[in-house]
Amino acid sequence: MGEVSGERVAEGADAFDVFARDCPSRFTLGHVTGRWGSLTLGALRDDTLRFNELRRRVDGVSEKMLSQTLHALERDGLVVRDARPTNPPHVEYRLTELGADTADRLLALIGLVEDRMPEVLAAQRAYDAARGTG
Amino acid sequence: MGEVSGERVAEGADAFDVFARDCPSRFTLGHVTGRWGSLTLGALRDDTLRFNELRRRVDGVSEKMLSQTLHALERDGLVVRDARPTNPPHVEYRLTELGADTADRLLALIGLVEDRMPEVLAAQRAYDAARGTG
């Protein structure tokens, strides 16, 4: 916990702490758990996909947002952009080993949320009913 | 996958799919993984905390954002707001069982990101160097 400087955090993993305001891990966590980042990592877990295949899988994402998301994940070393020098060029996206490890943890969380949605919906109904907004 | 209607998804957990645009699980995942939601759940994993204690732990959150975050997590059945009828009133926040299960998965993901930040920073340096932006 506490303050971390750019110099100090580069020295060892122990120094990284997402609860600290300026820790770089907070930004990477944001890319991983962001609305489109999480779905993109999840979609690439089992497949190498082309841009338009990804766009269909991540229902609702715009071309611009998917492009920004992929750039951030590529920069973090989670996704590789594979461009084969064919004509026309064939571009595919796949996870790195780090990306796959991250996606595994993320999918465990996503699976839990999906499995427990009946509980969540019941809680929402009770909350709204208690406040007369349901 | 595919379309899910509000009626159908209420019937069984199998019907929930965060990849589907309108599935309610996508909103709950957003609350859980959002910038402040994730840190709030993580902070409450081991402690019952008062509002101002939470605010100190989730470094950088504003009063308004923490309040909104807690309302969303409470409505989803992840957090309980405990108000004891003392004078002055004593209000504490704690996780439900569902909230604790969710926080466990989330902390596993956060732990991985923190542990692997040296790899992430190396990837960022390589990415920036290749593009002359480093």
CATH of residue A97: 1.10.10.10
Taking an 8 Å cut-off on Cβ atoms, the answer to whether A33 and B28 are in contact is no
Residues B26, B42: one domain? no
Taking an 8 Å cut-off on Cβ atoms, the answer to whether B75 and A32 are in contact is no
Chain B, nearest residue to A128 by Cα: B75
Residues of chain A neighbouring B3 (CB-CB closer than 8 A) = none
| Whole-number Cα distances in Å, B105 to A108, A111, A127, B53, B110 | 7, 10, 25, 23, 9
Rounded distance between C-alpha atoms, residue B61 and residue B56, angstroms: 8
Choose from B33, B58, B66, B115 for mutation: most chain A CBs within 10 A.
B33
Cα B64 to its chain centre, rounded Å, is 16
Residues A58, A107: one domain? yes
pLDDT, position B14: 60
- What's the mean per-residue pLDDT of chain B? 89
- CA distance to partner chain A, nearest, from residue B106 (Å): 6
Closest CA to B31 of A59, A116, A126: A116
Residues of chain A with pLDDT > 70: what percent?
A: 88
How many other CB atoms are found less than 10 A from the CB of residue B115?
14
Choose from B1, B11, B18, B49 for mutation: most chain A CBs within 10 A.
B18
pLDDT, position A86: 86
Residues B41, B27: one domain? no
Residues A57, A99: one domain? yes
- Say if residues B98 and B32 touch (Cβ distance below 8 Å): no
- Local structure of residue B61 (DSSP, 8 states): -
Closest CA to A79 of A91, A88, A90: A91
Residues A25, A40: one domain? no
- pLDDT of residue A3 exceeding 70: no
Domain count, chain A: 2
Residues A75, A48: one domain? yes
Residues B28, B40: one domain? no
pLDDT, position B9: 43
Residues A14, A45: one domain? no
Residues A4, A57: one domain? no
Chain A, nearest residue to B54 by Cα: A19
Taking an 8 Å cut-off on Cβ atoms, the answer to whether B117 and A13 are in contact is yes
How many other CB atoms are found less than 10 A from the CB of residue B74?
17
What predicted TM-score, i.e. pTM, was given to this entire model? 0.84
Residues A21, A81: one domain? no
Residues of chain B neighbouring A115 (CB-CB closer than 8 A) = 13, 16
Residues A9, A24: one domain? yes
Chain B, nearest residue to A119 by Cα: B77
Choose from B101, B120, B133 for mutation: most chain A CBs within 10 A.
B120
Residues of chain A neighbouring B24 (CB-CB closer than 8 A) = 117, 120-121
Residues A60, A90: one domain? yes
Residues of chain A neighbouring B117 (CB-CB closer than 8 A) = 9, 13, 16, 24-25, 28
Chain segment B2-18, per-residue pLDDT in tens: 444 444 444 444 689 99
Confidence of residue A134 (pLDDT cuts 50, 70, 90): low
What ipTM is given for this predicted complex?
A: 0.85
Domain of residue A12: give its range.
1-29
∠ CA B62-B67-B72, nearest 5°, is 125
